[in-house]
Amino acid sequence: MVGVLALQGDFREHKEALRRLGVEAKEVRKPEHLEGLKALIVPGGESTTIGKLAREYGLEGAVRERVEEGSLALFGTCAGAIWMAKEILGYPEQPRLGVLDVAVERNAFGRQVESFEEVVEVRGLGPFPGVFIRAPVFRRLGEGVEVLAELGGLPVLVRQGKLLASSFHPELTEDPRLHRHFLELAGV
């Protein structure tokens, strides 16, 4: 079964993207909602809010435990990717899951380019419509982290085992390929 973390952000768009692939995703708001899940999507939104709520609802520890034992695959988009990171540059106190071995830089494209669309070349998939909204980039990648796409030489899609994280928002496009790729990765 597949879940979408539904605390804040664009979880409905992820549910819709999965529905287009014939998958009915479960909304996750409490630790008990993780029962039986093989895959969890963490949406875009506001990473500080997502982090605070996840901690408050006991989801931070419960998700981390499952990821560390290898039973749960994660796909984080934008704020979701920030939440997954081990390090958030400039925000050492921000609550996070801390499982993806990267340092992430929030709002890395600057305030003057708050949002933009750019085609990114995804390894194995080809050109993909990248929707970037106050997007982060991945820096200081750990050894097990593979770069699947870059923009202007900066990593914007990375993978570490069953963890997938993007700076951009595939859920805001009609293109199902990254969601499908994640389901394959998760073995769903």
Residues involved in catalysis: 78, 169, 171
Site membership for ligand GLN, residue 163 (CB under 6 A): no
> How many Å apart are CA 5 and CA 1, to the nearest integer?
13
Strand partners, 2: 39
Q: Is 76 in the site for ligand GLN (CB under 6 A)?
A: no
Q: Looking at 3, 44, 76, 155, which residue binds ligand GLN (CB under 6 A)? A: 44
φ, ψ for residue 104, nearest 5 deg: -110, 140
Q: Which is nearer to ligand GLN, 39 or 165 (CB)?
A: 165
Binding status of residue 14 toward ligand GLN by CB under 6 A: no
173 touches ligand GLN (CB under 6 A): no
Q: What is the total count of residues that contact ligand GLN (CB under 6 A)?
A: 11
Please state, as a whole number, how many other Cβ atoms lie within 10 Å of the Cβ of residue 130.
23
Distance CA 85, CA 31 (A): 20
Answer yes or no: are the C-beta atoms of 155 and 123 closer than 8 Å: no
Is residue 88 annotated as involved in ligand binding? Answer: no
Site residues (vs ligand GLN, CB under 6 A):
44-47, 78-79, 82, 106-107, 133-134
